[in-house]
Copies of this chain bind each other. A is one copy, B any other.
Amino acid sequence: MNSFGQKLRFSTFGESHGTALGCILDGVPAGLKIDEEYIQSELDRRKPGKSEFETARKEADKVEILSGTFEGLSTGTPIAMVIYNTNQKSKDYSNIKDVFRPGHADFTYFHKYGIRDYRGGGRSSARETAARVAAGAIAKLMLKTLDIEIFSGICEVAGIKSEDFNYPHAKNSIIYALDKNKEEAQKEAILEAKNNHDSVGGVSRVLIIGTPIGLGQPLYYKLDGVLADAMMGINAVKAVEIGDGVLSASALGSANNDEIRQNGFESNHAGGILGGISNGEDIVMNVYFKPTPSIFKEQHTINTQNEELDFALKGRHDPCVAIRGTVVCESMAALVIADMILLNMGSNMDGIKKYYK
């Protein structure tokens, strides 16, 4: 099951060291200006090799559109996009051919499928998320026409928490840091782990502004539920919270409720979602990434013959996957919101009559 979304539905393909990866984005409304430079610029934000805080693998991540547009506009037909892999060093992986890397999906893929493309993790590699970013860029273009925008940044690295959420700063930070006063410490933590042949975890914070009231299809395609699925499904994510999230579980009802006045809510503990439906406030999420499982320290593991061995990984890896991951969070959020925009149409007869008459 390699598709996501109901009315705006994308399907991805591709492995880390295969010929190409890409996606089909189905359900894009006709008449949307498809700004290819913008799509590429989004891919550039996620692409590897931009700094010492990322893997050294260099990929141009040049996206090509194969279908679905005509004279610069979407036609309502599926938009296929492809990104050819160029910088595979599959030889780096010959030593893991029969070995299950701890913290990776090698073990589970092998047992589920009985066969495994071990080169760079194959399909389970975060390289696949390039396709999500390409699809997400088109979702963002669609949302912009409705004045909906999505931002994100890193609010925690290795336990060093942001106290400020400065999204414009994050956009230009090499580690997408939200708090410029914490940025240096966060960078140091990453480099220290890297130098120790280790890795660190981090947290991405996502902000969605401008959503109309009413997005979300209760009770089993709720906005928060689907966002949780979308975020948890990103490689290395282990927790998701909406609004106050974890903290709300230790709060009193009187403190946690967002009281309402004529001009809106007096607070936003709920993170913009009530009963699974957007309430018009900012939607806020935190997405928790575990540390990159690829480390260069020796670890216990087994191979496909169930023999024990001590194993130290080689190759090129991100010391903190949350950094590039935050771009993927934005993209997935955009895809969810755009899908919900489409699904929400037809919720009531007034809207239907207005549309058809």
Contacts and interface: CB of A to CB of B under 8 A. Distances in A.
A253 B348 contact: no
A80 to B, nearest CB: 4
Contacts of A145: 349, 352-353
A64 B13 CA distance: 14
Oligomer: number of copies: 4
A260 B213 contact: no
A331 interface: no
Interface stretch (A26-34, A36-44, A165-173): A26-34
A138 interface: no
A31 B109 CA distance: 13
A30 B103 contact: no
Given A275-B104, A290-B249, A241 B238 contact: yes
> Could you say which interface size class chain A belongs to?
35 or more
Given A11-B11, A347-B29, A350-B31, A213 B112 contact: yes
B13 A79 contact: yes
Interface string A254-291: 10111111100010011100111111100000001111
A233 B239 contact: no
A239 B240 contact: yes
A226 interface: yes
A26 B9 contact: no
B261 A203 contact: no
Interface stretch (A45-53, A175-183, A293-301): A293-301
Contacts of A219: 1-2, 12, 123, 128, 233
A274 to B, nearest CB: 5
Given A225-B232, A253-B293, A275-B109, A258 B2 contact: no
B117 A75 contact: yes
Interface string A1-28: 1111011010111110011111010110
Contacts of A274: 103-105, 107-108
Interface string A201-222: 1110000000011101111111
Given A66-B20, A222-B233, A261-B308, A27 B1 contact: yes
A290 B266 CA distance: 18
A98 interface: no
Interface in A297-333: 297, 299-302, 306-308, 322
23 contacts: A1-B9, A2-B24, A11-B78, A13-B80, A15-B70, A77-B122, A102-B260, A103-B258, A104-B275, A111-B280, A114-B350, A146-B356, A201-B251, A202-B249, A225-B228, A232-B240, A232-B242, A238-B249, A249-B289, A253-B293, A260-B300, A345-B345, A345-B355
